Amino acid sequence: MDKIEEMIKDFPFQLILGSASPRRQELLKGLGFDFLNKPVKVDEEQWPKDLEAQEICIYLAEKKADAYEEDLKETDLLITADTIVWCEGKVYNKPANFAEGKKMLESLSGKMHQVFTAVCLKSANKQTTFFDESKVYFKKLKAHEIEYYLTNFSPYDKAGGYGVQDWIGFVGIDKIEGSFYNIMGLPVKDLFEELVKF
């Protein structure tokens, strides 16, 4: 057994992922850890209005950890996360409908935006929060491309109204700086390092 296998097998915590996101579940599974999935529900539209950029997703990731309803055992480690899209001083969360999604993608079209994901790790007696930032450069999206994407892929559970791993990512993104997986919703490289430290 090599060192990584041993570390994963002997990891001293039962991981609990407090997220309904299939992308986060897929990414955490890809790291090799077993985990329980127990989504935490909070209002992701509510945060102190003086917060900006990464401060917003840090606040929401910690709010989700605080909202976890079960008592954490000594061997439990809860993972909560939040992703936001930030462009020209404005936050783009999940669109409520087609019209909102269209407006968001039109606003992001032809520009660079930042994607911030914050992750909170919480055990019975310790808590740590970290974040990652990626930059995404969209080409100038055509109206029919935006409409096709929103009609066929329904990205209404995604910050900014799009999934980087979806069709719009294939045809619309010129360049990415930073972690691709952070844009998907979980900065897995940083998460692995933080789990090892924890």
Helix (H/G/I), strand (E/B), else coil: 64: helix
- For 153-159, which contacts have Cβ atoms below 8 Å and span 24 or more sequence positions? 155/95, 155/101, 156/94, 156/95, 156/96, 156/97, 156/101, 157/21, 157/94, 158/94, 159/83, 159/84, 159/85, 159/92, 159/93, 159/94, 159/115
Using an 8 Å Cβ cutoff, are 1 and 9 in contact?
A: yes
Cβ contacts of 101 within 8 Å, gap of 6 or more? 95, 150, 155, 156, 161
Here the tokens at position 23 are 């992308």
Is 82 considered catalytic here?
yes
Catalytic residue among 76, 82, 157, 190: 82
For the annotated catalytic residues, the residue numbers are 82
